Amino acid sequence: MPFSIPEYTERILRTKERMEAEGVDVLLLTDPANMYYLSGYDGWSFYVHQVLVVILEEEQPLWIGRKQDANGARLTVWFHPDHIIPYPDDYVHSPTKHPMDFVADILKQIGQGNRRIGVEMDAYYFTAQAFGRLKKGLPDARFQDSTLLVNRIRMIKSEREIDYMRKAAKIVEQAMRVGIDSIAAGVRECDVAANIHHAQISGTPEYGGDYPAIVPLMPSGEKTSTPHLTWSDQKYKPGDTVILELAGCYRRYHCPMARTAVIGPPSSLVQDLSDVVIEGLNTALEAVKPGVTCEEVEEVWRKSIERKGFLKDSRLGYSVGLNYPPDWGEHTASMRAGDRTVLEPDMTFHMIPGIWFDSYGVELSETFRVTEKGCEVLASFPRELFQCPVGGIFHPLEESGA
């Protein structure tokens, strides 16, 4: 197991304390990251409905999922196999039956059908149909939104979680180096992506990598005007700006990083923007310490770039760590005006001060841990605008260090 049983039981205890504070008797978790956090369950089965049930009076949770995934639960969860309840396969993608019908029946059978039930209304894998079937199957229950109940507990990391993120940092260092070293005029974007993927999964000689929650984001040329494009089979051209936003992932814990490169000499526009972003990033990181709020860190960044005549109207960063596709963020605190979340030791954030214009953009980012006096940047990689060759030979995997 990735964590000790005492760590899991302590997480369950904190979850129940928050449930009591919010008036929740039964908590239904469908977010795979929250399921993993409290149970250890780790499988690519979140494309079908599955639920972790936390009941105030019960010492151990229940895992309810597809029958063919039940052995996966037995191999990964920390609690007794009797708490693994599979539903038959005819509930999967059926026009007449729904897995939440099965969940509702189980809750009624164990005397939980008329209680106050918290559900993750804004979780990616909890659909409107799922909620509708639960309400129909449990007419005597009182439902309330508990979307971020466990997410907020996850914000402060344990020593083991920090260790996993440091390992992920070593992986992203290698993946970023491989990506930058692979970029050159005439090289296909997809071949660079393949090299990056190989580095992310192969990891280091000491430990391998996991699949990140987000694929490599790597817009080039005019596409750097927006952050969330991936790759194509087009070849890089002289003068292209290339953004790489990647993550290392170890045991589902992420360390994202972004850097920007130019094929050949950069234009004055890109160079000037890069200088502003790097200075603002350094200044904002220096402002991080316990007791400071998210909006205060963002204000330091905003004033730094405003002195150079720049404006960024999107958030500066967000809490990050454990997750599954489609996102590595924790969906809780954001570094932006109005977010008064107070930074505490062992919170972890991805600070990504990207600035995008209509035809170009620049990104550099760092993942950091809040320490007792400031912050620890988890990965060690140069903060600079990289210059890639205009012409050259594409480095295959065995030559690129992947």
Q: 283 phi and psi, to 5 degrees?
A: -65, -40
pLDDT, one tens digit per residue, over 99-152 is 999 999 999 999 999 999 999 999 999 999 999 999 999 999 999 999 999 999
**CA-CA distance, 212 to 201, in Å (whole number)?**
9
Q: What mean pLDDT is predicted for residues 179-205?
A: 97
Which pLDDT score is estimated for 30?
Answer: 98
Residue type at position 220: S
The overall average pLDDT reported for the chain is 96
How many other CB atoms are found less than 10 A from the CB of residue 293?
16
Rounded distance between C-alpha atoms, residue 321 and residue 166, angstroms:
11
Q: From its phi and psi, is residue 25 left (phi > 0), alpha (psi between -120 and 50) or beta?
A: alpha
Distance from CA of residue 253 to its chain's centroid? 8
Backbone angles phi, psi at 13, to 5 degrees: -60, -45
Cβ–Cβ < 8 Å for 305, 311: yes
Query: Are 196 and 175 a contacting pair, CB within 8 Å?
Result: yes
- Sign of the dihedral defined by the CA atoms of residues 94, 97, 100, 103, in that order: negative
Among residues 330, 226, 317, which one has the least CA distance to residue 280? 317
Q: For residues 378 and 348, give the distance between their C-alpha atoms in angstroms, rounded to a whole number.
A: 9
Q: What is the pLDDT of residue 376?
A: 98
- Residue 395 banded pLDDT, cuts 50, 70, 90: very low
Query: Residue 402: pLDDT band by 50, 70, 90 thresholds?
Result: very low
| Residue 149 pLDDT | 98
pLDDT, tens digit, 9 for 90 and up, residues 243-300: 999 999 999 999 999 999 999 999 999 999 999 999 999 999 999 999 999 999 999 9
The answer to whether residues 275 and 316 touch, using CB atoms and an 8 Å cutoff, is no
Considering only CA atoms, which of 309, 395, 292, 291 is closest in space to residue 355? 309
Q: At which residue do the structure tokens 């990050």 appear?
A: 320
78-82, 366-370, 395-399: least confident range: 395-399
What tens digit of pLDDT does each residue of 144-176 get?
A: 999 999 999 999 999 999 999 999 999 999 999
What's the rounded mean pLDDT across residues 18-42? 98
pLDDT(392) > 80: no
**In CATH, what number does 5-154 get?**
3.40.350.10
Domain boundaries, the chain: 5-154, 159-388
175 in Cβ contact with 246 (< 8 Å): yes
**In the prediction, which pLDDT does 87 show?**
98
- Predicted confidence at residue 400, as pLDDT, reads 34
- Encode pLDDT of 303-355 as tens digits: 999 999 998 889 999 999 999 999 999 999 999 999 999 999 999 999 999 99
401 pLDDT more than 80: no
For residue 398, what pLDDT is reported?
38
Q: Rounded to 10 degrees, what is the CA torsion of 302, 304, 306, 312?
A: -40
The topology under which CATH files domain 159-388 is Creatine Amidinohydrolase (3.90.230)
